[in-house]
């Protein structure tokens, strides 16, 4: 059996890895490089119980456990570690409030009040998302998967479109027994060829600072009010490689068809840099080693699409993971592999993520113009 996976982000790599664990050949088709989009530019924060009370809880809990397990199973260092996680406020919002840290975080400025503990090393963790995605891809390749660089330009169909038999890559046909759509926000392109609900992109901006290893393993979720009154929610993640990742400032800027054309909005990174300088003297004096933007893949209702594409034999979706794609990748990969091989996922009930729960996007609504 050969499974074609469209997209080499964290979801595509995880599906390939778990298919390989079951002895099934996977071909990952990626336009740029593994982890070229959000999977290489995200925070990499993981939480056991932050999805509790939502339909995502079983997926997140299973995935949190798999992340710990994968460290034992796969070669490589992707900066996995457990963390303590705090919440607080910074900037003008707290001017009239009590100042000073409820928790002493000495790498933050005195203007920041850290007043909640949101997670402990039992419940929160992190990975370096690019390294994690690359390690999953390498592990998949070690089990026989292939990485094919190329642009998915169509899906091959038979029987009046009710069966998917392959993928068109830059106009060339490649056959497979099943096809998994895992192109993050670019999955929307596949609505041209199969009945897939809309997947949209929500842009986020981030900076990576070279802070050294003295910054402790503390993740921070802060609220910051800018001079213009805009409320930002910066997330700060010191990493094992001596860098600190900070993201904030979302925008609804349209998704370019070519992932290589994703660029920050004008002025967004300068604003983020200003916020970082104010929040922390350590960040203010640190060299910035990455300035970037990427798109979260989101769906109507906010839940991912994980399962069979309705009415299309051999067609599967694994996309739309929004803010939790790095967390939920392993359990998604495991569940999709079981679904393809056994006809049902064993570890997670996928019914709430069924692509058939939403109406398919009308292809006439797609405006595709490649620059
Ligand atoms: C600022 C920010 C911070 C985040 N922080 C976290 C976090 O802390 N924790 C967490 O769990 N999640 C986080 N996320 C979410 C997470 O990054 C995403 O949910 C996840 O990366 C999505 O992975 P994916 O594989 O579905 O998509 P992507 O990473 O977008 O991968 C899709 C791949 O498809 C490829 N592609 C596109 N078009 C084509 C084509 N035509 N042919 C072939 N290939 C194509 C792209 O090049 C890309 O590599 C964050 C997201 C953002 C934006």
**Confidence (pLDDT) at 104:** 85
**Confidence (pLDDT) at 94:** 52
CB 275 within 8 A of CB 304: no
Q: d(Cα 147, Cα 314) in Å, to the nearest integer?
A: 20
| Closest protein CA for atom 35 of ligand 1 | 7
pTM of this prediction? Answer: 0.97
**Confidence (pLDDT) at 98:** 47
CB 30 within 8 A of CB 147: yes
**Confidence (pLDDT) at 212:** 93
**Confidence (pLDDT) at 270:** 97
Say how many Å lie between the CA of residue 246 and the centre of ligand 1. Answer: 17
Return the structure tokens found at 41.
């530019």
Q: d(Cα 353, Cα 346) in Å, to the nearest integer?
A: 14
Ligand 1 pocket, residue 31 CB under 6 Å: yes
Ligand 1 pocket, residue 13 CB under 6 Å: no
φ, ψ dihedrals at 27, nearest 5° = -120, 120
CB 327 within 8 A of CB 64: yes
Q: d(Cα 346, Cα 272) in Å, to the nearest integer?
A: 43
- The preferred substitution site among 4, 5, 7, 235 for testing ligand 1, maximizing ligand atoms within 8 Å of CB, is 7
DSSP letter (8 states) at residue 356 = G
Atom index in ligand 1 nearest the CA of residue 151 equals 42
Sign of the CA dihedral with 189 first, then 191, 194, and 199 last? positive
Return the structure tokens found at 208.
């990576």
Q: How long a stretch of residues is the chain?
A: 371
Ligand 1 pocket, residue 10 CB under 6 Å: yes
Mean pLDDT, the chain cut into blocks of 10 residues (371 residues total): 98 98 98 98 98 98 98 97 96 52 87 94 98 98 98 94 95 96 98 96 98 92 90 97 97 96 97 96 97 98 98 97 98 98 97 97 80 58
Q: Which residues pair with 89 in a beta bridge?
A: 113, 223
Max distance between CA atoms of the chain, in angstroms, equals 68
Q: d(Cα 348, Cα 63) in Å, to the nearest integer?
A: 10
CB 131 within 8 A of CB 59: no
**Confidence (pLDDT) at 44:** 98
Q: DSSP 3-state assignment of 151?
A: coil
- CA distances to 83, 85, 218, 294 from 103, in Å: 15, 11, 11, 32
Nearest one of 228, 4, 220, 36 to 119, comparing CA atoms: 220
Long-range contacts of 290-293 (CB under 8 A, 24+ apart): 290/41, 290/206, 290/207, 290/208, 291/207, 291/264, 292/41, 292/205, 292/206, 292/207, 292/208, 292/264, 293/41, 293/203, 293/204, 293/205, 293/206, 293/262, 293/263, 293/264, 293/265, 293/268, 293/269
- The preferred substitution site among 183, 196, 333 for testing ligand 1, maximizing ligand atoms within 8 Å of CB, is 183
Burial 249-275 (b: 16+ CB within 10 A, else e): bbeebebbbebeebebeeebbebbbeb
CB 293 within 8 A of CB 206: yes
Say how many Å lie between the CA of residue 167 and the centre of ligand 1. Answer: 21
Q: d(Cα 10, Cα 144) in Å, to the nearest integer?
A: 18
**Confidence (pLDDT) at 364:** 86
Return the structure tokens found at 98.
């009590």
């Amino acid at each position: 059996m050969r499974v074609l996976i469209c997209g080499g982000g964290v979801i595509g790599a995880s599906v390939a890895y778990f298919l390989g664990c079951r002895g099934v050949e996977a071909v990952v088709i990626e336009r740029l490089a593994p982890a070229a989009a959000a999977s290489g530019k995200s925070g990499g924060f993981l939480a056991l119980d932050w999805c509790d009370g939502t339909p995502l809880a079983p997926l997140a809990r299973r995935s949190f456990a798999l992340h710990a397990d994968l460290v034992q199973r796969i070669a490589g260092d992707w900066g996995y570690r457990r963390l303590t996680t705090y919440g607080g406020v910074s900037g003008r919002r707290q001017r009239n409030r009590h100042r000073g840290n409820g928790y002493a975080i000495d790498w933050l400025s005195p203007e920041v009040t850290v007043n909640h503990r949101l997670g402990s090393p039992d419940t929160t963790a992190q990975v370096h998302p690019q390294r994690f995605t690359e390690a999953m891809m390498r592990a998949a390749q070690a089990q026989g998967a292939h990485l094919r660089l190329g642009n998915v330009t169509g899906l091959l169909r038979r029987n009046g479109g009710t069966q998917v038999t392959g993928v068109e890559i830059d106009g060339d046909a490649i056959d497979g027994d099943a096809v998994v759509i895992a192109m993050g926000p670019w999955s929307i392109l596949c609505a041209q060829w199969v009945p897939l609900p809309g997947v949209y992109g929500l842009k986020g901006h981030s900076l990576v600072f070279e802070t050294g290893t003295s910054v402790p393993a503390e993740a921070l979720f802060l609220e910051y009010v800018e001079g213009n009154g805009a409320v930002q929610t910066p997330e700060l993640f010191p990493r094992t490689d001596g860098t600190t990742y900070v993201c904030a400032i979302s925008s609804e800027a349209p998704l370019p068809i070519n992932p290589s054309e994703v660029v920050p909005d004008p002025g967004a990174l300068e604003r983020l840099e200003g916020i970082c300088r104010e929040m922390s003297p350590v960040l203010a004096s640190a060299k910035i080693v990455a300035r970037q933007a990427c798109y979260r893949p989101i769906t109507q209702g906010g839940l991912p699409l994980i399962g069979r594409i309705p009415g299309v034999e051999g067609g599967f979706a694994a996309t739309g993971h929004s803010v939790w794609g790095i967390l939920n990748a392993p359990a998604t990969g495991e569940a999709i592999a079981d679904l393809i091989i056994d006809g049902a996922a064993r570890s997670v009930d996928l019914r709430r993520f069924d692509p058939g729960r939403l109406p398919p996007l009308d292809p006439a609504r797609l405006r595709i113009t490649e620059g």
